[in-house]
Structure 1
Amino acid sequence: MSTSTRVRTQLSRAKRPERVAGPLLVLGGVAFFAGGAIHPNDSGKGSKVSQLHDMMVDSMWYPSHALLLAAMACFATAILAFRRRGGLGSGMATVTSVVSVIAVVATIGMTLHLFAALGAGGIAGGAKTFLYHVQTWNETIVDSLWGLGIATLAVAGGLTRTLGNPITLALGLVGGLAYALASATIAFTDRFDALFPLASLIGIWAVVACVMMPPRKARSGGAASAPDIGRAGTSN
């Protein structure tokens, strides 16, 4: 093998999906945890429009949402890379395919969410502007779907042992459901706002699941397949 061919082979191997899925999942988890920790809180007083305005003009709006955007982007890229690594089994492959689409859409949604603060002046008087409605439906639908997607991925990954295990899946399940419910209702009621801190479990799950991600096992004709979701209960 020539030197140039050997170099190209090494570079190709370095770019394999499984090489980037884990690190990106960790970065996404850390960024999500940090972004949630510094996210501004509203006063809990007045209308929902006023509460949103209070958060938008807070100095921590941009730092927190920049971190959350980075988290969403890392999660989306990691899930896409994880899907491409192969050997997942049909059930897990389907889950990652669907969740990867949701993750990409959520990244776009978080970009809009980040720059929504530019229109804070328009809702200063309590008016429900077009921007407010976009913000509302972005959180209610897109963020909620992302939370449900992460919860589903955690369960599927844990049961098949391709991303965590049956014990660690609880972190992603609880965190994802908490984020989904809090996001779906935040524009209408304060009742479930307390669930947002619980959503930080998503970040913890991402790090733990990455650490427990099994390496691909080479075999003739490709990577070894992980147990499918329907057969997870009989796997070792």
Structure 2
Amino acid sequence: MTSASLQSRTPTRHFRTDRAGAAFLVLGGIAFFLGGGLHPKDSGSGDKLAQLHDMLVSSMWYPSHAVLLAAMALIAAGIIAIRRPGHLEPGMARLAGIVAGISVLATFAMLVHFFAATEASAIADGDSTFVIEVHTWNETIVNPLWGVAIAALALTGGLTRTVGNRIVMALGVVGGLSFALATATIAYTDAFDPLFPVSSLLGVWAVAVGVIGLVRHA
């Protein structure tokens, strides 16, 4: 096999990988935006457990969280794809690898969160179960970690123009940090709940990064 034939094959391999990662990000971003819009709202009355119960018994709990679960899985897949060797410089690849790992963890946490509605009766009775405990850890630890990780990827990727650019960078930073702060405090206070709609910018960032990736490799 000649060096010329090797060179002719290499761009094609990278092209397909980049397109796959970009497409995953576009689909994941759309799903994240839609899932947030479908998420049930609480009544705004009672303590935090009562408000959680309001959401768990909503008919929109499962549809919204199915979409959000798909969103996190697709975004994780997109980040895994774009961090493969040859697509990013070493430092950026390491960061993307860390964010990919956190994204996979957040996806599994969202799967447990999806089934939290099965414990609605226990919450109504004031009881605690394993699923409820994991749900709390997910909300206050894993989700904030994921939001900060996405913000870091958006900032670094935007400044280096390797993941998105400096124009869309702000979408990921603001959306990621808003999601992190809103989820970290939801179990304790309503003060930062208005940040949840703002966190939908994370989905817009993912779509923008994906579209940029598709255009660059068209």
Normalising by structure 2, report the TM-score: 0.89
SS at match of 2:200: helix
C-alpha root-mean-square deviation of aligned residues, in Å?
1.9
Residue matched to 2:187: 187
Contact 1:42 1:55 in 2 (8 A): yes
Contact 2:144 2:184 in 1 (8 A): yes
Distance (Å, rounded) in 2 between the aligned partners of 1:152 and 1:44: 32
The amino acid of 2:146's aligned partner reads W
Residue matched to 1:33: 33
Residue matched to 1:233: none
Moved over 6 A (4+): none
Distance (Å, rounded) in 1 between the aligned partners of 2:159 and 2:15: 28
Distance (Å, rounded) in 2 between the aligned partners of 1:101 and 1:164: 20
Residue matched to 2:6: none
Unaligned runs of 5+ in 1: 2-8, 217-236
The percentage of counterpart residues that share the same residue type is 57
The answer to whether 1:52 aligns with 2:23 is no
Residue 14 (structure 1) shift = 9.3
- Greater shift, 179-188 or 82-91, is seen at 82-91
Within 5 A, what are the aligned runs for 1:80-91? 80-84=80-84, 86-91=86-91
Within 5 A, what are the aligned runs for 1:1-236? 13=13, 16-84=16-84, 86-213=86-213, 215=216
Contact 1:18 1:85 in 2 (8 A): no
Greater helix fraction, Structure 1 or Structure 2: 2
Residue 203 (structure 1) shift = 0.9
Contact 1:49 1:128 in 2 (8 A): no
The amino acid of 1:64's aligned partner reads S
Distance (Å, rounded) in 2 between the aligned partners of 1:48 and 1:150: 27
**Number of residue-to-residue matches in the alignment:** 207
Unaligned runs of 5+ in 2: 2-8
Normalising by structure 1, report the TM-score: 0.83
Q: For residues 156 and 192 of structure 1, do their structure 2 counterparts lie closer, same or farther at Cα, with a shift above 3 Å needed?
A: same
Contact 1:17 1:85 in 2 (8 A): no
| Greater gyration radius | 1
Residue matched to 2:5: none
Q: For residues 95 and 14 of structure 1, do their structure 2 counterparts lie closer, same or farther at Cα, with a shift above 3 Å needed?
A: closer
Distance (Å, rounded) in 1 between the aligned partners of 2:123 and 2:195: 26
The amino acid of 2:107's aligned partner reads T
Distance (Å, rounded) in 2 between the aligned partners of 1:142 and 1:53: 21
Contact 2:73 2:104 in 1 (8 A): yes
